[in-house]
Amino acid sequence: MAITPPRIIVIGGGAAGFFGAIAAAEQGAEVLLLEKSSHFLSKVRISGGGRCNVTHACFDPKELSHRYPRGGRALISPFHRFQPSDTVEWFENRGAKLKTEADGRIFPISDSSQTIIDTLLDSAATSGVKLLSNTSITNIERHPDHFTLTSSKGDTFTADAVLLAVGGTRAGDAARLASDPGHHLLPPIPSLFTFEIALPWLRSIPGVVAEVEATIPGTKLRERGPLLITHWGVSGPAILRLSAWGARELAALDYHFPLQINWLGGLSSDDIALRLHELRLGHPARLVAGLPPAPLPVRLWERLLALAGVQPGTTWNRLPREHTQALVQILARTKLPVTGKSLNKDEFVTCGGVTLPEVDFKTLQSRKCPGLFFAGEILDIDGITGGFNFQAAWTTGWIAGHAMVESFTKESTPLIS
C-alpha cells in the first residue's frame, strides 16, 4: 500500500517558516506556506542593515546557548542537531557563499540579504513548497485525524500537521493561534532596543563610537563592547546586549533608569589616573583637547573635557588637579539618564511567547496539541545581537520540518486523539 505524503501547512513566511517548510518538503511532504502580508521574508530583507547576519561562528552548542537571554538551556539539545556550521553548509550547498567577519558574525559574501532571500525562495520552489501570500489565518480547529484552518477571507485549508512560525506575538492573531489550543504565552516585550537619552552634549556628536563598559546601577546588567552615539541617545552592540539581557527588568522600570558608562572599557579609576599622568609627563606642552587617552575618540573627549570644566586651550602641564580628578570620575563613571527606548518596528526582536515547558524540543511539537509545531520567535526564545536570533530560527525550523514528516504518515496512528 502506498503511503500518502503528509499534508503540512506552515503559517508564517519568515526565516523559521521557510526553513521548516523546505525541510518538510525535502522529506516528501506536501507543504503549503501561508503568509499574511504581501511579502515573504520581509524581516530577512532588512536585517543587518540589508546585509543579513545569517548566523555566528560559535560552534559549541553549550557555548552557543549562552548567547540567549531566554531559551538558551532548551536550545542546547537542538543545537547538537543543527548549529551554525550546519547553517553555513546548508546555504553554501545551495550556492549562497558566506563569509565570517572579525567579530564572528557571518554574512553572505555579496553583503546583500537578497542572496539569502533568493536561496530560500529557490529552495522552496525546488522542493515543491507552495507559497500563498495575503492570507491571514484566524482559526485553527483540530479534528481526530486532521486540522482545519480558516482565513480572514473565509477560505479553509486542511492539514495533517501545522507549523506555527508567525514571529513575535505582538499581533493579536498570532497570540490567539497559539493560546487557543491551551498554551500559555508570556507577554511580548521588546528586546534588542536602543536607549533614548536627552542630553544635548551627547546628541551633538552622533556617529561617534567608543569601546565602553556599560552598567545599569541597581542591577547585575553589565556589558563591554562598542557603544554608538546617535541623534536620540546610544546604540551599538554593548547597548543592544544590555537591552536583551535586561529586557524584562528594563520594561518593569518603564525604560527610565540611569546608565553608567566607563568610557575606557572598564579601566579602574587608578588605571585611568595613571593614563592621564602618563599623558601629562609625555606631552606636557600638547593641548589636552587634542590628545585623548587611547582609544577615546577626539570628539567625545572634547565633550567630556567640557563636562569636567577644562577650558579650551589648556595644555597637559597646566591641567589643574581638580580637573584631572573630575576627568577620572567622568571617564570611569559617567551617568546618563535613560528616558525611553527606540527600536525599528519592523526588525526588532521580542522576548515572550509560548512557554518552553509546553513544547517538546526534540521535535518542536506542542505538548498540549499533538500535530501542532512551533518554530522561531513565537517561542519564548531570543538571542543577543550577532546572528543568534536567525540561528534559533534555522534550528527550530529545521527540526520541526523534519519531525512533522517523521512522526506522521497515513498509516501511522493519528497525531490527534
Q: Average pLDDT of 98-126?
A: 98
Is the CB of residue 171 less than 8 Å from the CB of residue 155? no
> Mean pLDDT lowest for which of 39-48, 145-154, 195-204, 343-352?
343-352
Q: What is the pLDDT of residues 168-214, one digit of tens each?
A: 755 566 778 888 888 999 988 999 999 999 999 999 999 999 999 99
The pLDDT value recorded for residue 239 is 96
Q: Are 323 and 310 in contact, with CB atoms under 8 Å apart?
A: yes
| Cβ atoms of residues 353 and 382 within 8 Å | no
The stretch 140-169 carries a mean pLDDT of 93
Phi-psi region of 207 (alpha: psi -120 to 50; beta: other; left: phi over 0): left
Q: Is the pLDDT of residue 58 over 90?
A: yes
Which residue bears the cell 519564548?
380
pLDDT tens readout for residues 25-49: 999 999 999 999 999 999 999 998 8
Please give the Cα distance from 308 to 2 (Å, whole number).
81
Of 241-255, 315-329, 398-412, which range is least confident? 398-412
The answer, yes or no, to whether residue 226 has pLDDT greater than 50, is yes
Whole-angstrom Cα distance, residue 242 to residue 5?
A: 46
Please report how the helices 269-282 and 321-332 are oriented relative to each other, as an axis angle in degrees rounded to 10.
130
The whole-number pLDDT of residue 53 equals 96
Q: What is the pLDDT of residue 169?
A: 57
Give whole-number Cα distances, 171 to 37, 56, 263, 412, in Å.
Answer: 13, 29, 39, 36
How long is the chain?
417
Per-residue pLDDT, 177: 87
> Is the Cα torsion angle 40, 43, 48, 52 positive or negative in sign?
negative
Residue 330 has what pLDDT? 98
Q: How confident is the model at residue 415 (pLDDT cuts 50, 70, 90)?
A: very low
Cell of 409: 504518515
User: Is the pLDDT score of 2 beyond 50?
Assistant: no
**C-alpha angle 181-407-355 in degrees, rounded to nearest 5:** 35
Predicted confidence (pLDDT) per residue in 388-412, tens digit: 999 999 999 999 999 999 976 544 4
Flag the least confident range among 57-61, 212-216, 283-287, 350-354.
Answer: 350-354
> What is the share, in percent, of the chain residues with pLDDT greater than 90?
88
The sheet with strand 257-262 has its strands ordered as 334-338, 257-262, 209-215, 222-229, 233-235, 194-196, 340-342
Evaluated on CA atoms 227, 15, 113, 101, the torsion sign reads positive
Half-sphere exposure of 151 (CA within 13 A, CB side): 17
User: Is residue 16 very low, low, confident or very high in pLDDT (cuts 50, 70, 90)?
Assistant: very high
Predicted pLDDT at 413: 38
Question: Binning pLDDT at 50, 70 and 90, where does residue 261 land?
Answer: very high
Here the cell at position 258 is 540611569
Cα–Cα dist 12/412, whole Å: 27
C-alpha pair distances (Å), 100 with each of 4, 54, 380: 43, 10, 28
SS3 at position 96:
coil
Residue 382 reports pLDDT greater than 80 = yes
Residue 140: enclosing H or E segment and its boundaries?
Answer: strand 137-142
List all residues 6 or more positions away from 321 whose beta carbon is below 8 Å from its beta carbon: none
Q: How confident is the model at residue 1 (pLDDT cuts 50, 70, 90)?
A: very low
Chain center to CA of 363: 23
Query: E strands along 249-325, which residues?
Result: 257-262
Query: Domains in the chain, start-ordered, CATH in brackets?
Result: 7-190+345-406 (3.50.50.60), 193-342 (no CATH)
SS3 category, 195? strand
Q: Write down the pLDDT at residue 69.
A: 97
pLDDT given at position 417: 32
Percent of the chain at pLDDT > 70 equals 94
Q: What is the mean pLDDT of residues 128-150?
A: 95
Looking at residue 386, its pLDDT comes to: 94
Task: Give the chain's mean pLDDT.
Answer: 93
Characterize the bridge pairing of strands 156-159 and 147-151.
antiparallel
3-state SS assignment for residue 237: helix
CA 205 – CA 232 distance, rounded (Å):
11
